[in-house]
């Protein structure tokens, strides 16, 4: 029934488009076979953002969102190596790589990585690269160290684009084509290959080894007021104007590639590379499998977020929404792996990702938990609340699921507690002497306690065990990072933004405020909360700050270092339904960092606010 309805809608839509444009005009191929996407928004959301940013600025932001940043940002694992050593190794890799890889399309992969997803990476390095390439890479700034004070361990590798591609169009002989899904295209723009599940449609008679023009199917407004892509997997493309989705694809060509299998193969198998993208609109270096453990690819604003938190050695830090662990590991590295970073996420599998990343980077001070951030504060009346497990030392309330392994160790724990506590009280004095290795720090003590109760560390050796937590005691963290789940409207490249409505944006805001309420309870007086999102939506950024400052009088905005983002938005927005959203007040805007995707920094859209927690009973 639904299929028939969809089919009918599609047919109606096509007739509607044909009626609107009865004799499709011949299009200049340079207009058609190019990359010039227009980001579609929900009309009310667009109106709201235009009010916030002004029409011209919002149009620049929209444009920037459709493109990837033109460089890769590498966070060097300073516990294992240095920025200079990494640059040297990368240059060596370029030197040994094939000349077919242009400098601006630097290909750093050691091996073919046959990732079985529609967005995996695939690259190969061919030996025989000449020396001048290395010199050029340095001279033209392909590889450079970040110049921002304190961030000299961050390495940038430049990419290039958008490039104009000749798809070999000739009158009456259109190029063979492959149409991919939006998600696949977004990954391809970031440097991935086209994998089988990402292919939507393909020209007839495509054989392995054919050159194909790759375009993307993006959601279009439907007659029913929703969005649809109006094309089904397996559709045959003739290269004619009567092809389904022909006009919609104009300006949405993301590159040229060589098919790795025939059309029949693409739609028969379930995995593998369908198209090897060898001529891309954006040429960005790919680092899959490269210098594993020594480097981590991370957006610059995320690295800055860890700095804004300013974690100190020996502290206890909570990362409330931590997966996949990019910021957790940045924080642990800034702490030189001394102290405790509690990394929580509500998704079991994502917690495993944090563990994997921590192990890869060799970080030991990270403890992971599966935990709903909305219930991050330990409630004493929980049915399975076990007071002896919510010790003032550990402050983590573990669930009954772990009680067996805990009972086994309980005796041992109690026998060492007194001794350890003595060590604990000694730690301040020892610290003053700077003799960090001979005393048991608070963090080490907590780690030992956990080891005794739970066996060896969770990171490397337990092979995928994830501990559930019922939450933590109030005031039990020195600093809390809330890198909140959000509308992600700052992520790049983005080819469609119509799914978010005013209502869904407001819901994100509500969810974030509830999480923030938990963060406020968990951090001790005198501690720090950093709140961040990867969205351009002021309702999830400045409005959260307003809520925080108005609700909790003991919070105040703190300056951030480094500060490379722009100021926040001051003012308010009145919605047609009467809802009023309050943003920052004059004087507050310079305390937050707003990363504008259309600014010369060329980052994702991102927001960071830092709060100092004053005496809570004041």
Ligand X SMILES: C[S@@+](CC[C@H](N)C(=O)[O-])C[C@H]1O[C@@H](n2cnc3c(N)ncnc32)[C@H](O)[C@@H]1O
Interacting residue ranges for ligand X, rule: CB under 6 A: 302, 321-327, 345-347, 350, 372-374, 483, 485
Which residue, chain included where needed, has tokens 């700034």? 141
How many CB atoms are located within 10 Å of the residue 502 CB?
18
Cβ distance to ligand X smaller for residue 213 or 377: 377
Q: How far is the CB of 517 from ligand X (least distance, A)?
A: 12
Helix (H, G, I), strand (E, B) or coil at 173: strand
Q: How far is the CB of 115 from ligand X (least distance, A)?
A: 19
Cβ distance to ligand X smaller for residue 215 or 305: 305
Cβ distance to ligand X smaller for residue 285 or 325: 325
Beta bridge partners of 606: 595
Joined together, the tokens standing for residue 127 give: 């030996």
| Torsional class of 291: left (φ above 0), alpha (ψ -120 to 50), beta (otherwise) | left
Instruction: Identify whether the C-beta of residue 138 lies closer than 8 Å to the C-beta of residue 88.
Output: no
Q: How far is the CB of 346 from ligand X (least distance, A)?
A: 4
Residue 588 exposure: Cα atoms within 13 Å on the Cβ side = 25
Which entry of 184, 390, 534, 573 is annotated as an active-site residue? 534
Q: How far is the CB of 539 from ligand X (least distance, A)?
A: 16
Joined together, the tokens standing for residue 411 give: 């005796």
How many CB atoms are located within 10 Å of the residue 617 CB?
6
Cβ distance to ligand X smaller for residue 483 or 589: 483
Q: What are phi and psi of 570, to 5 degrees?
A: -100, 140
Cβ distance to ligand X smaller for residue 90 or 608: 608
Helix (H, G, I), strand (E, B) or coil at 75: strand
Instruction: Identify whether the C-beta of residue 254 lies closer than 8 Å to the C-beta of residue 281.
Output: yes
Q: How far is the CB of 323 from ligand X (least distance, A)?
A: 4
Instruction: Identify whether the C-beta of residue 220 lies closer than 8 Å to the C-beta of residue 230.
Output: yes
Integer angstrom CA distances of residue 563 from 172, 559, 590, 594, 609: 55, 8, 9, 10, 11
Cβ distance to ligand X smaller for residue 373 or 389: 373
Instruction: Identify whether the C-beta of residue 358 lies closer than 8 Å to the C-beta of residue 319.
Output: no
Q: Is 390 a catalytic residue?
A: no
Cβ distance to ligand X smaller for residue 246 or 513: 513
Cβ distance to ligand X smaller for residue 304 or 427: 304
Q: How far is the CB of 345 from ligand X (least distance, A)?
A: 5
Joined together, the tokens standing for residue 483 give: 């890198």
Cβ distance to ligand X smaller for residue 174 or 471: 471
What is the per-residue burial (b if ≥16 Cβ within 10 Å, else e) of 147-158? eeeebebbbbbb
Q: How far is the CB of 190 from ligand X (least distance, A)?
A: 16
Q: How far is the CB of 314 from ligand X (least distance, A)?
A: 22
Beta-sheet pairing, 469-472 with 477-483: unpaired
d(C-alpha 355, C-alpha 366), whole Å = 8
Those residues whose C-beta lies under 8 Å from the C-beta of residue 590, and which sit 6 or more positions away, are 567
Cβ distance to ligand X smaller for residue 90 or 482: 482
Q: How far is the CB of 582 from ligand X (least distance, A)?
A: 24
d(C-alpha 229, C-alpha 239), whole Å = 18
Joined together, the tokens standing for residue 273 give: 């590379």
Cβ distance to ligand X smaller for residue 327 or 446: 327
**Residue 455, exposed/middle/buried by CB under 10 A (0-12, 13-18, 19+)?**
middle
Q: Transcribe 324-382 into DSSP letters.
A: T-HHHHHHHHHTTT-SEEEEEES-HHHHHHHHHHHHHTT--SEEEEE--GGG-BPPTT-
Q: How far is the CB of 470 from ligand X (least distance, A)?
A: 13
**Residue 490, exposed/middle/buried by CB under 10 A (0-12, 13-18, 19+)?**
buried
d(C-alpha 583, C-alpha 68), whole Å = 29
Joined together, the tokens standing for residue 369 give: 């938990």
Instruction: Identify whether the C-beta of residue 512 lies closer than 8 Å to the C-beta of residue 318.
Output: no
**Residue 425, exposed/middle/buried by CB under 10 A (0-12, 13-18, 19+)?**
exposed
- Give the per-residue SS3 of 25-82: CCCCHHHHCCECCCCCECHHHHHHHHHHHCHHHHHHHHHHHCCCCCEEEEEECCCCCC
Helical ranges in 361-465 per DSSP H: 403-432, 442-454
Catalytic positions are 534
């Amino acid at each position: 029934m639904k299929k028939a309805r969809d089919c009918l809608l599609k047919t109606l839509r096509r007739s509607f488009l044909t009626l609107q444009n009865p004799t499709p005009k011949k299009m200049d191929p340079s207009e058609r076979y190019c990359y010039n996407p227009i980001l579609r928004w929900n009309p009310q959301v667009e109106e709201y953002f235009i009010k916030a940013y002004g029409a011209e600025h919002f149009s620049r932001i929209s444009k920037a969102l459709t493109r990837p940043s033109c460089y890769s940002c590498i966070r060097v694992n300073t516990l294992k190596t240095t920025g200079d050593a990494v640059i040297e190794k990368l240059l060596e890799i370029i030197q040994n790589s094939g000349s077919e890889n242009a400098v601006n399309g630097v290909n750093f992969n050691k091996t073919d990585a046959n990732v079985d997803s529609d967005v995996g990476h695939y690259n190969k390095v061919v030996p025989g690269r000449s020396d001048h390439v290395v010199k050029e890479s340095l001279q033209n700034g392909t590889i450079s160290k970040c110049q921002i004070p304190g961030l000299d361990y961050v390495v940038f590798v430049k990419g290039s684009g958008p490039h104009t591609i000749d798809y070999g169009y000739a009158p009456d002989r259109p190029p063979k084509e492959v149409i991919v899904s939006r998600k696949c295209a977004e990954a391809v723009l970031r440097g991935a290959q086209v994998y089988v599940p990402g292919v939507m449609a393909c020209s007839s008679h495509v054989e392995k080894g054919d050159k194909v023009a790759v375009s993307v199917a993006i959601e279009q407004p439907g007659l029913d007021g929703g969005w649809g892509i109006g094309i089904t997997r397996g559709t045959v493309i003739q290269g004619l104007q009567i092809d389904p989705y022909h006009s919609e694809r104009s300006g949405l060509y993301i590159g040229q590639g060589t098919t790795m299998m025939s059309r029949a193969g693409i739609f028969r198998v379930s995995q593998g590379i369908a198209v090897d993208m060898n001529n891309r609109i954006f040429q960005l270096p790919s680092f899959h499998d490269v210098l594993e453990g020594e480097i981590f690819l991370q957006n610059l604003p995320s690295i800055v977020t860890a700095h804004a938190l300013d974690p100190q050695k020996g502290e206890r830090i909570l990362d409330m929404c931590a997966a996949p662990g990019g910021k957790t590991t940045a924080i642990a590295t800034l702490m030189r792996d001394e102290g405790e970073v509690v990394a929580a996420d509500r998704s079991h599998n994502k917690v495993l990702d944090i563990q994997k990343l921590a192990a890869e980077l060799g970080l030991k001070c990270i403890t992971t938990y599966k935990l709903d951030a909305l219930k991050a504060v330990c409630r004493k009346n929980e049915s399975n609340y076990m007071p002896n497990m919510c010790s003032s030392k550990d402050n983590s309330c573990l669930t009954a699921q772990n009680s067996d392994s805990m009972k086994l160790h309980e005796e041992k724990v109690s026998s060492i507690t007194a001794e350890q506590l003595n060590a604990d009280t000694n730690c301040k004095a020892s610290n003053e002497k700077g003799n960090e290795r001979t005393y048991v720090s608070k963090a080490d003590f907590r780690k030992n306690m956990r080891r005794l109760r739970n066996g060896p560390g969770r990171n490397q050796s337990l092979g995928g065990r994830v501990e559930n937590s019922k939450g933590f005691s109030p005031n039990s963290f020195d600093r809390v990072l809330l890198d909140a789940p959000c509308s992600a409207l700052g992520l790049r490249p983005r080819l469609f933004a119509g799914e978010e409505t005013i209502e869904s944006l407001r819901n994100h805001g509500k969810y974030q405020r509830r999480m923030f309420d938990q963060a406020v309870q968990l951090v001790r007086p005198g501690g720090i909360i950093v709140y961040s999102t990867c969205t351009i939506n002021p309702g999830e950024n400045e409005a959260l700050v307003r809520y925080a400052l108005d609700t909790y009088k003991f919070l105040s905005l703190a300056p951030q270092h480094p500060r490379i983002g722009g100021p926040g938005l001051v003012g308010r927005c009145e919605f047609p339904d009467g809802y009023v959203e309050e943003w920052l007040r004059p004087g507050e805007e310079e305390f937050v960092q707003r990363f504008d995707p259309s600014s010369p920094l060329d980052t994702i859209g991102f927001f960071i606010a830092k709060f100092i927690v004053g005496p809570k009973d004041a």
